[in-house]
Every structure is written in structure tokens, then in C-alpha cells.
Amino acid sequence: MAIDHLDGRIIVLLAEEPRIGVLEMSRRLGVARGTVQARLDRLQSNGVIRGFGPQVDPAALGYPVTAFATLQIRQGQGADVRAYLTTVPEVLELLTTTGSGDMLCRLVARSNADLQRVIDRVVGFDGIVRASTAIVMENPVPLRVIPLVEQAARDREET
Amino acid sequence: MAIDHLDGRIIVLLAEEPRIGVLEMSRRLGVARGTVQARLDRLQSNGVIRGFGPQVDPAALGYPVTAFATLQIRQGQGADVRAYLTTVPEVLELLTTTGSGDMLCRLVARSNADLQRVIDRVVGFDGIVRASTAIVMENPVPLRVIPLVEQAARDREET
DNA sequence: CGTACCACCAAACAGATTGCCCAGTGGATC
DNA sequence: GATCCACTGGGCAATCTGTTTGGTGGTACG
């Protein structure tokens, strides 16, 4: 759960050059291969590293438009809405937030015009009272974790 | 840019068992190893697969609280705000959305109490006019792309 | 003070995988 | 008919993986 400095370096290295392999990592970090291997195993069983799945870019897939929809859910319909939205491929993420039955929904679409179709499909579901959508224009900071990892490693050291 | 059915299966397989290797994939998919290799190269140079970085779980790192902050930016301060927020490790993502100088900001914190510190640090920056924060309670659909990939592959086939 | 435990290093092994090259085949294009 | 392209199936040396072994140092604890 607490991240070591070496753990941090391992994660950063892995983020920079994912195909690197344990052996090469041990060389670059100046530690024994077994150590890296053990650390990696620990990080994975700890759940710190969830996996190494491919990072797919929706834009390159033909879905360059991203939007966030804030949904207001009718009382007691939360589970239904969740189940429904799970079946919509264009729904990339769904979160419930503080506030009266609110959900936040990350969408993608093939175009601005297509976004209309997606939104209709999403908010057309009975159980959604109201929805407001914001289109994403730019993404100055794409989803990242490295700075957080480094911070966590630093915290650990400074103790 | 357009995704083949085989491409789709490759991505899905890779998402399910990331450590699988090209050879094993070719066996499971019933195609030659060179084919899988060529497809993978193409997918990567196309940008469809951005990489294979480790998926780090902020919660396991000690940051179990997630929140979204909607920021209203003072005219012309957008660049400054971006630059500043980039330096805050707890800012995992930053997006500019439609609306008058609005940004959406994904945050994590060590606790609800700690969230206050993070928010102060974020909105304390000059150039941010107003901010409203929503704490994430549940994550019924964690960030996913597979259904979209399958959809894209299906679209391609049905043509 | 001695023991036990733990993380790490260094080395070794067989087995598997990778990157790369080649020749042949079938379909589509012009 | 000639050409291009993607795929197959095979083969090669080099490398990496998973795993085990023995040895070292530090720390916690009775």
C-alpha cells in the first residue's frame, strides 16, 4: 500500500517504456532481477498496478468527440440506469457523485452530429429526469498517474 | 483507423490477458504469428493502441477519494491555469469544455479531509473565478474501451 | 547476545518467446 | 496477365522468463 522509492522508479520506468521486460529494468535500476520481479509481484497483488492492458485511443478508433453528461436520476432508479448505460458502448465511464441522484457520464461519439444520437440514446432512458451535457474541447492534461506515484514515493521517503 | 474484426479480437484478448505475448495470441486466434505481429504494429503506429503502460490504482496508492471540480476561468488566464494545474500531482486529468471558460478537473485525495487541502490548492490559484466540486461516491462503470472497440469492429464488418 | 526473519544479490538452468528473414499462396486491382 | 498486398508456415540465433539455490546484511525480539 505504501510506495517505496524503488517502487516508484519501477512504475515510472514501466510507464515510459512498457515493453521493457524485467531483466532490462533491473539493469537500468541497478538492482538484481529478482528484486524487480518481487517488487512487481507485490505491486500487482497489492492492486497498485492493476494491469497492463492496451491503452486505446477512442479518437483513433473514429470517435474523436468526447463529452460529459450530468444525469439526474429518478428516485430509486439508480440501478436500472446503471445497468442500461453499461450496455451503451459509447459510455466510457459512469460515476455517481454527491448531490441528489446525480451521475456523471463520459461519452464519445463519431462527430458532433453523432453525439446527438448518443445523447438521445443515453438520456432517452426512462429513469433519467434531466441531463446536461458539456462537450470536451481540449485535453490539456490527459489522464495521468505518474506525478501521483512520484508524490506517493516521496511521501514515503520523507517519513 | 478503421478496425478490423481481427484487430478487435487482438485488442480484446490483450485487454483480458495483457501478459500474453504474440505467439500465444496467434495460437488462440488461429492465425500466423506474423499476422498478429503486423496487426499490432499497425494498431500502434495508427495510434489506436497508444501503449501498454501500467494501470495504477490511485486508491491502492493511498488516494481513495476522487472528485470532479468544475472551474470557471478568468478571461485569458486559461494557459496559466493549465500550466499551474499540471504541477499539482493530485490533478489526474484536466479538460476544457464548452461554456464560458470552463474546465473540468479530476482530482484525488487521501481522504475527505485531505480533499479540502487539494481543492484549496487547486482553486487557490489566481485566474480561477469560481469552482464547484462533486465527490465521486461510486464507479459503476470504470473507464473502459472494450465495448467501443467491439462496436467499431462490428461497424467495419457490416459495411 | 544469539536467533529468526526478511529483503536483496548473484548465479544457474531449461524452456519459451522474440525479432527477423524467407518462399509460397490467394485475392484484388489495374 | 502482371502487380500488389496480406497471410501462411517454416527456420534461425539471441534473448528473456520462471524458478531455484546459496550467501549477505539489517532488524526485531526474547
B92 three-state secondary structure: strand
The predicted model gives A62-69 an average pLDDT of 97
pLDDT beyond 90 at A1: no
The whole-chain average pLDDT of chain A stands at: 95
Report CB contact under 8 Å: B95, A1.
Answer: no
* Confidence bin at B156 (pLDDT 50/70/90): confident
Residue pLDDT, tens place only, B47-102 = 999 999 999 999 999 999 999 999 999 999 999 999 999 999 999 999 999 987 79
Evaluate if the CB of A9 falls below 7 Å from strand C.
no
User: What's residue B18's pLDDT?
Assistant: 92
Give the number of other Cβ atoms within 10 Å of residue A72's Cβ. Answer: 15
In the DSSP assignment, the letter for residue B32 is -
CA of A145 to C1' of C15 (A): 36
* Confidence bin at A159 (pLDDT 50/70/90): low
Residue pLDDT, tens place only, A91-110 = 999 999 998 779 999 999 99
Contact A115, B65 (CB under 8 A): no
Evaluate if the CB of B34 falls below 7 Å from strand C.
yes
As a whole number of angstroms, the distance between CA A70 and CA B21 comes to 40
Domains and their CATH numbers in chain A:
5-54 (1.10.10.10), 58-135 (3.30.70.920)
Return the number of CB contacts < 8 Å for A and B.
212
Nine-digit cell at A2?
505504501
Phi-psi region of A55 (alpha: psi -120 to 50; beta: other; left: phi over 0): beta
User: What's residue A22's pLDDT?
Assistant: 96
pLDDT beyond 80 at B157: no
Report CB contact under 8 Å: A96, B137.
Answer: yes
Evaluate if the CB of B40 falls below 7 Å from strand C.
no
CA of A39 to C1' of D13 (A): 31
The predicted model gives A36-56 an average pLDDT of 95
Residue pLDDT, tens place only, B2-55 = 899 999 999 999 999 999 999 999 999 999 999 999 999 999 999 999 999 999
pLDDT beyond 70 at B159: no
As a whole number of angstroms, the distance between CA A6 and CA A17 comes to 16
User: What's residue B129's pLDDT?
Assistant: 94
